Copies of this chain bind each other. A is one copy, B any other.
Amino acid sequence: MKTAFRDIRDELRRRIIANEWPPGGLIPNEVDLCAEFNCARATVNRAMRELAEEGLIERRRKAGTRVRDVPRKQATFEVPVVRKEIEARGSRYQFTLLSREAMPAPAWLCARLEIPDNSPVLHLTCLHCADGHPYQFEDRWINLKALPQAKQADFSNVGPNEWLLATVPYTDAQISFGALNSDPDLAHHLGCKAGDALFVAERMTSFQDEPITYVRMIHQRGHQMTMRY
């Protein structure tokens, strides 16, 4: 019976998983594998191609084929829009604008956004609630030179997050995750204790190379962000 490429692929995969062919090591060349499996070169080639696509092996024209050292893994997540996040849990979403002030940008923000000293910015703080319980505190800065229309925008019903998504349809962004200890002011808004560890997502957004906004999204105690990959 002819050996199918699938059988060869599965057997080669088994050897890699069983560590018979260790990570980083060379595996036999196609000619030797053809002899072992008593099949055509094209059949072995097809099996190898699929293992390469799975990320298990790395093929180099002259250097031969190796078992990948550390498999590359990537995870993808949908950048969260807080209203949709809350509604997806089946909860009622509620937005509150806590403060709003146009001012010259503080020095740390100028450095972060790479904008000139004292650039005009709009500073907003907001609370996003789920079923009446604090869910996220939003500390938002908007570069008014890039988006002068923000000065007139009404943020009392629609938060700056959604206003920006609607106003600046596509953008480059950088997102960071970290943790901070709640200060008394945050604790008051989120209904937790001062000192509690809170999960923070920071985002910096540009549109056509112009810095648009910087935001810190500080989540309720115990909040987790989960994704599969």
Chain A interfacial positions (CB closer than 8 Å to B): 16-17, 19, 22-23, 54-56, 67-79, 81, 84, 162, 165-170, 172-181, 195-200, 202, 222-229
Copy number in the complex reads 2
Which B residues are in CB contact (< 8 Å) with A172? 228-229
A207: nearest residue on chain B (CB-CB)? B17
Our pick among B71, B169, B197, B225 for the contact of A170 (Cβ within 8 Å) is B71
User: Given the complex, which residues of B lie within 8 Å of A176, measured CB to CB?
Assistant: 224-227
Cβ of A56 and Cβ of B170 under 8 Å apart?
yes
A70/B177 in contact, CB under 8 A:
no
Task: Find A177's partner among B81, B170, B180, B199 (CB 8 Å cutoff).
Answer: B199
Rounded to whole angstroms, the CA-CA distance of A223 and B75 in the bound complex is 20
Chain B positions within 8 Å of A84 at CB level: 70
- Contacts A68-B169, A176-B226 known; 12 new A-B pairs at CB < 8 A: A16-B169, A17-B168, A22-B166, A54-B170, A55-B169, A56-B170, A72-B78, A176-B225, A177-B226, A178-B223, A178-B224, A195-B195
Supposing A181-B195, A195-B195 touch, asked if A228 and B174 sit within 8 A by C-beta, the answer is yes
Return the contact of A166 from the options B23, B166, B228 (Cβ within 8 A): B23
How far apart sit A61 and B22, CA to CA, in the bound complex (Å)?
A: 53
Query: In the complex, what distance in Å separates the CA atom of A16 from the CA atom of B170?
Result: 11
Among B23, B174, B181, B224, the residue within 8 A (CB) of A197 is B181
How far does the alpha carbon of A162 sit from the alpha carbon of B24 in the complex, in Å? 13
Q: Is the CB–CB distance between A19 and B167 below 8 Å? A: yes
Nearest CB in chain B: distance from A116 CB, A: 24
In the bound complex, do residue A199 and residue B178 qualify as a contact, i.e. CB atoms below 8 Å apart?
Answer: yes
State A17–B171 Cα separation when bound (angstroms).
11
